[in-house]
Copies of this chain bind each other. A is one copy, B any other.
Amino acid sequence: MDQDRRTRLAPDERRRQLVALGVASLVDSPLESLTIEQLAKRAGVSRGLLFYYFGSKQGLHREVVLAARDGMLNATRPVPDLAPLDRLHSTLTRTVQFVRDHRGTFYSLVRGAASGDPEVREVVEQARVEQAERVIAVFLELGMPDTELLRIALRSWVAFAEEALVEGALTTAMPSEQIVEFLERTARAVANSVAE
């Protein structure tokens, strides 16, 4: 579709192109339907080239999910200067924004890529860990004791938030501010409920 003649690119550039095409395909189709053959055809290269770069289908999936994940983590990165609760508010606001701007990507990350092979699962798992760390930091700075139960609670609250975002931000027209406020309240409620 691009060229009918063989074009030779620098490895980094070709890799970027292939991963970008993969991420783009997540917008309207789940990860598991991202087959080597389809992507090869879209990119106008042979299937063999994908194995040259990614080794296996799972290797490709891993890099695609990694790129999508980093895009999300980047768009929702906390602003260090803000006070804890303001930082949480800021992060959640941008999270809702990201979810609504990139519905397909978000949904594929939190739902589609859940199963499959452990390598891929681990990539999205790391995103949850990172997000949990962000929220834990907020409440530790507010003076809560660093207990195992608090960590489990906020780790689980991340799963709570993912579900709420799918239900609230993707399938209803609820105003973003209301969703953000809902997430803030529940986070505080969960954290408080383990602090006795």
> Which A residues are closer than 8 A to B by beta carbons?
30-32, 111-116, 121, 148-149, 152-153, 155-164, 167-168, 172, 182, 185-186, 188-190, 192-194
A194 / chain B contacts, CB cutoff of 8 Å: 182, 185-186
Q: Which of B114, B162, B182 contacts A111 (CB 8 A)?
A: B114
Q: Indicate which residue in B115, B121, B155 contacts A167 across the interface (CB closer than 8 Å).
A: B155
CB pair B164–A156 under 8 Å, yes or no, is: yes
Number of this chain's copies in the assembly equals: 2
From the candidates B116, B153, B156, B189, name the one contacting A115 in the complex (CB within 8 A): B116
| Cα separation A192 to B190 with both chains bound (whole Å) | 11
- Residues on B with beta carbons closer than 8 Å to the beta carbon of A157: 160
- The interface residues of chain B lying within 8 Å CB-to-CB of A158 are 163
A189 touches B193 (CB 8 A): yes
Q: Top 8 nearest A-B pairs by Cβ distance?
A: A114-B114, A159-B163, A160-B160, A115-B115, A189-B189, A189-B193, A156-B163, A156-B164
